[in-house]
Chain A
């Protein structure tokens, strides 16, 4: 149980385009979803926390107009990287939790984003 599907797994696109990444909880309702960015050989950096039906809470230094997050249902959250540039190239990972005290996060397999 507790499967999180992230799509696409890899995307390559030209500078200036927008890219949407989907994160779905397949067998549970995710009250909270998280979006992380991971730089090579580093740990995960939390970008934002989203609760279903609410606006996302962004971490300091993360541009909310650049990284649009939508959590429209209890099983789906999307991250849209708008007007992507080469410096946005990274590994993006989502996670989801059913909520409740200490519930672990379940992670998707990540999206490798490469901006040319």
Chain B
């Protein structure tokens, strides 16, 4: 069965500092990969997705993620964090080759300090 691991439950960074959120997946083939962000009391917003091709994908709000097949990772990055980026971030996986249910990671809560 597929699984998604986000090793960091909680991360604190200073405003303006760079950010990297880790995501590792376990699946037999390369799945479709997503990052979502959830602000308190709200639903999830899609930041970016990877299907195939260029392993570095650009998303909204200045986020990017890099797919590394050898490491089964899809880490999310941002060069300079803003206070408004404080939220919970979820990595998600869907098996390629047909639509099936999404498997979410447990989430990483990002705190931004001034």
Contacts and interface: CB of A to CB of B under 8 A. Distances in A.
Given A102-B99, A105-B102, A43 B107 contact: yes
B104 A44 contact: yes
Given A101-B99, A102-B96, A104-B46, A112 B41 contact: yes
B99 to A, nearest CB: 6
Contacts of A112: 41
Contacts of A102: 32, 49, 51, 94, 96, 99
B112 to A, nearest CB: 18
A42 B45 CA distance: 17
A109 B42 contact: yes
A88 B90 CA distance: 24
A104 B42 CA distance: 18
A100 B94 CA distance: 12
Given A102-B32, A104-B46, A110-B41, A46 B102 contact: yes
B99 A43 contact: no
A108 B45 CA distance: 9
B36 interface: yes
B3 to A, nearest CB: 12
Contacts of A49: 101
Given A49-B101, A107-B36, A101 B106 contact: no
A103 B99 contact: yes
A93 B43 CA distance: 6
Interface of A: 4, 6, 32, 34, 42-44, 46, 49, 91, 93, 95, 97, 99-110, 112
Given A43-B104, A46-B101, 19 more contacts: A34-B101, A42-B106, A42-B107, A43-B105, A49-B101, A93-B44, A95-B43, A101-B51, A101-B97, A102-B51, A102-B99, A104-B34, A104-B49, A105-B46, A106-B46, A107-B45, A108-B43, A110-B41, A110-B42
14 contacts: A42-B106, A44-B90, A49-B101, A93-B44, A95-B44, A101-B96, A101-B98, A102-B32, A102-B96, A103-B99, A104-B34, A104-B46, A106-B46, A108-B43
